[in-house]
Amino acid sequence: MRIGVNLGYWGRGTTGADQVALAQAADRLGYDSVWVAEAYGSDSPSMLAWIGALTEHVDLGSAVMQIPGRTPAMTAMTATTIDTMSGGRFRLGLGVSGPQVSEGWHGVPFRHPLGRTRDYVEIVRAAVRRDTVSHDGPYYPLPLPGGPGKALKLGSRPVRADIPVYLAAVGPKNLELTGEVADGWLAIFFSPEHAGDLLAALETGRRRGGRGPIEHAMTGFDVVATTPVVLVDDVAAAADHVRDYCALYIGGMGSREQNFYNQLACRMGFEDAAARIQDLYLAGRHREAAAAVPLEFIDETALLGSPARVASRLGRYEAAGVTTLSVAVGGGMTRDEALTTLDVVARVAGLEPPGPAA
């Protein structure tokens, strides 16, 4: 199992300079990859380009670039530019976001997210291959019918014709689509104890898309689980560092009727707690919502406690099928505390610093 770092996005107590410092530390310590997120503040490709110029070895992943925020062609241009400038280190993570951000921030209807994602990935892959791009799908018709546009191909020559594509997915149908069309899955609130149905949906998609050997459909597929790490010996006190994060997603990342993270918590067996968290959060009682997140939920989906306890619990992820564990070192930490956490995780995971870049 590889170990990566999820840097999130800056603006919630973290700065762009903090992200760069953590990425450079990950590069020195032998981490596999760094992943950068976006919501409606800092964007991921700008940060990844900056980080790519200041690192040598570590792979650069978007977790995610929002599908409603860019045309497929623009995403292909951005992906091939970062990949070429970094010497082939880019991984393209995509996600549809949610209805509030898609429609409220980007002005793009959230309807038919599965169909849109399928068409989007197809166009991006074709553009990266430098095919002459045309598409008949209902969501991204290219060229626009009846106008002066013509089918084009990418005007630059990237270093790779096949940049790895990852999808952020939560629901069963989206997981099947991820297995069918993508090279990896970006997971949030991943619990090794509740992973069976999620991985089965991915495998169903892999078989349907013919993207792996028949006997071992998950071969070559990258399961990336983002997992907060808090090195505080008292587990309950450690959990307090990520309560706000859990409450934001379970309670406020979406509407009452359409919150994918709340639905995930329900499928994990936390129906009553998920309903209470959402009621409190949507009523503006954010601290109470955070306090209502069960310790069991946090402990299942994060690495909490002493270095020895964290080391003893790492194996749960690999045994469950995770191929890249992407540790998140936020939770109100200072930069120095986050850097110390990266050092400790590197040690307990047995990472080795890379040699000189070729």
CB distance 143 to 127 below 8 Å? no
Buried b (16+ CB within 10 A) or exposed e, 100-133: bbbeeebebebeebeebbbbbbbbbbbbbbbeeb
CA angle 126, 92, 8 (to 5 degrees): 160
Sign for the pseudo-dihedral over CA of 27, 181, 323, 195: positive
Q: DSSP states of 208-228 as a string?
A: HHT-S-SS-TTTT-EEEEEEE
CA distances for 302 relative to 20, 59, 189, 355, angstroms: 23, 23, 8, 31
Amino acid making up residue 65: M
The pLDDT, as a whole number, for residue 211 is 74
| CA proximity to 345, closest of 307, 317, 319, 313 | 307
The pLDDT, as a whole number, for residue 291 is 98
Structure tokens given for 335: 């930069």
Residues near 185 by Cβ (< 8 Å), separated by ≥ 6? 166, 167, 168, 169, 175, 178, 179, 202, 221, 222, 223, 224
- End-to-end alpha-carbon separation of the chain, Å? 24
Residues near 35 by Cβ (< 8 Å), separated by ≥ 6? 4, 5, 6, 7, 61, 62, 63, 93, 186, 224, 226, 326
Taking each helix axis from N to C terminus, what angle separates 113-128 and 72-85, rounded to the nearest 10 degrees? 50
- Whose tokens are 């071992």? That residue is 216
**Of the options 3.20.20.30, 3.10.450.200, 3.40.50.300, 3.20.20.80, the CATH number for the domain spanning 2-231+306-349:** 3.20.20.30
pLDDT per 10-residue tile (average), the chain, 358 residues:
95 88 98 96 97 98 98 98 98 94 94 96 98 94 95 97 97 96 98 95 93 77 97 96 95 87 95 98 97 98 97 97 94 90 97 78
Sign for the pseudo-dihedral over CA of 340, 343, 346, 348: negative
**pTM score, whole prediction:** 0.96
Taking each helix axis from N to C terminus, what angle separates 113-128 and 172-181, rounded to the nearest 10 degrees? 20
CA separation for the pair 160, 274 (Å, rounded): 43
DSSP 44: H
Q: DSSP states of 169-208 as a string?
A: --SHHHHHHHHHH-SEEEESS--GGG-HHHHHHHHHHHHH
The pLDDT, as a whole number, for residue 11 is 81
CA separation for the pair 344, 338 (Å, rounded): 10
